[in-house]
């Protein structure tokens, strides 16, 4: 099998649309695709509930096309889609707690927005490859570990449910209309350009923001529940590979790290590698306890075996790279 590093230059000259391109994963993907020689279009409305940041595309201004528009605007989606070779759908309302407070907003972005993208593709560009971001939390409490792609889905919050639904829309359009589609379910991704100012945008990146400020990290209960972490460069590489490998068409994959860590250990390692601060355990808030899924242990065997991808960055390496990034620009993220 050809190594994944040899496939990445295949992006050269391709016209790529990244929805949610001001966000954490989308912006890292935009930088990587541009460096690979692709013609990149970033599509984002900077929804404050989705964690986007204009500073994330620092260095790309004037080099990539930027379209400030909403995925809920069907006319704008149609206008930008007709000449693209690849679409990475990174646009989403990503907060679990926010989805419980504002289910209509979350469902609009994560469900209606995806329908807009798929319907525009059906009408104007069925040859385009769509790589859609899913989430490991779609499964809800696990019946067996490690969970694989055949595991049932009973999500515990509106965000996870809306991502499960949107994934099904993507697969329906792929099968019915012959559109090449792939879904990658990602875990807790961390690294540069994340929204680190709020617990709404993944607990582990919020931990990083607190540690950078020397503040206390609070962990609910004993923090024994296991989580999977994936450094953003490894996630981006997986996305780029999925866009280039035809065998990923009409398939769903878990793209996760090899190791699983307790929330307590993630907090402790974050303090150790990122900054000062401390870790304190507090009782579970009732509203968070109600949507907790327990251990999140997943298998990456399917994607590894098909594509030849493996995560390359350890937790320690990723945290060290992350603090190096934020050391000079944290003021753009801590607001």
DSSP codes, 259-312 = -EEEHHHHHHHHHHHH-S-EEEEEPPPHHHHTT------B--HHHHHHH-----
Give the integer Cα–Cα distance in Å for 68 and 45: 5
Hey, CA dihedral for 31, 120, 183, 202, is it positive or negative?
A: positive
CA–CA separation, 18 and 245 (whole Å): 18
Residue 113: partners with Cβ closer than 8 Å, 6 or more residues away? 71, 72, 91, 92
Which CATH architecture fits 4-192+229-259+297-312? 3-Layer(aba) Sandwich (3.40)
Q: Are strands 39-44 and 65-68 parallel, antiparallel or unpaired?
A: parallel
What's the pLDDT score for residue 49?
Answer: 80
Domain boundaries, the chain: 4-192+229-259+297-312
Q: What is the pLDDT of residue 102?
A: 94
pLDDT at 275: 77
The helix/strand/coil state of 148 is: coil
Averages of pLDDT over runs of 10 residues in the chain (335 residues) are 47 97 98 97 92 96 97 97 97 91 94 97 98 97 97 96 97 98 98 95 95 95 96 97 96 98 97 89 89 93 96 96 95 92
The answer to whether residues 72 and 109 touch, using CB atoms and an 8 Å cutoff, is: yes
- What pTM value is reported for the model? 0.95
- Note the pLDDT of residue 8: 56
* β-pair partners for 129: 86
């Amino acid at each position: 099998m050809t190594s994944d590093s040899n496939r990445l230059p295949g992006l050269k000259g391709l016209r790529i649309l990244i929805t949610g391109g001001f966000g954490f994963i989308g912006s890292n993907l935009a930088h990587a695709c541009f460096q690979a020689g692709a013609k990149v279009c970033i599509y984002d409305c900077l929804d404050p509930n989705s964690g986007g940041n204009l500073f994330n595309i620092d260095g790309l201004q004037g080099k990539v096309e930027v379209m400030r528009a909403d995925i809920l605007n069907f006319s704008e989606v149609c206008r930008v889609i007709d000449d693209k070779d690849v679409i990475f759908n990174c646009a989403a309302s990503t907060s679990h707690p926010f989805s419980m407070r504002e289910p209509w907003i979350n469902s609009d972005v994560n469900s209606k927005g995806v329908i807009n993208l798929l319907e525009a593709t059906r009408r104007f560009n069925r040859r385009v490859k769509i790589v859609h971001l899913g989430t490991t939390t779609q499964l809800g409490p696990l019946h067996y570990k490690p969970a694989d792609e055949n595991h049932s889905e009973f999500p515990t919050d509106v965000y996870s449910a809306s991502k499960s639904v949107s994934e099904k829309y993507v697969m329906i359009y792929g099968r019915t209309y012959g559109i090449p589609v792939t879904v990658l379910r990602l875990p807790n991704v961390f690294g540069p350009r994340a929204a680190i100012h709020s617990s709404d945008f993944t607990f582990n990146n919020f931990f990083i923001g607190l540690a950078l400020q020397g503040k206390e990290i609070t962990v609910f209960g004993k923090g024994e529940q296991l989580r999977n972490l994936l450094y953003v460069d490894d996630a981006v590489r997986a996305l780029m590979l999925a866009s280039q490998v035809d065998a990923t068409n009409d398939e769903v994959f878990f793209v996760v790290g090899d190791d699983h860590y307790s929330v307590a250990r993630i907090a402790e390692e974050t303090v150790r590698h990122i900054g000062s601060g401390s870790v304190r355990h507090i009782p579970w808030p009732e509203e968070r306890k109600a949507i907790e899924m327990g251990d999140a242990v997943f298998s990456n065997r399917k994607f590894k075996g098909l594509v030849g991808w493996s995560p390359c960055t350890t937790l320690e390496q990723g945290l060290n790279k992350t603090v190096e990034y934020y050391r000079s620009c944290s003021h753009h993220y801590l607001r």
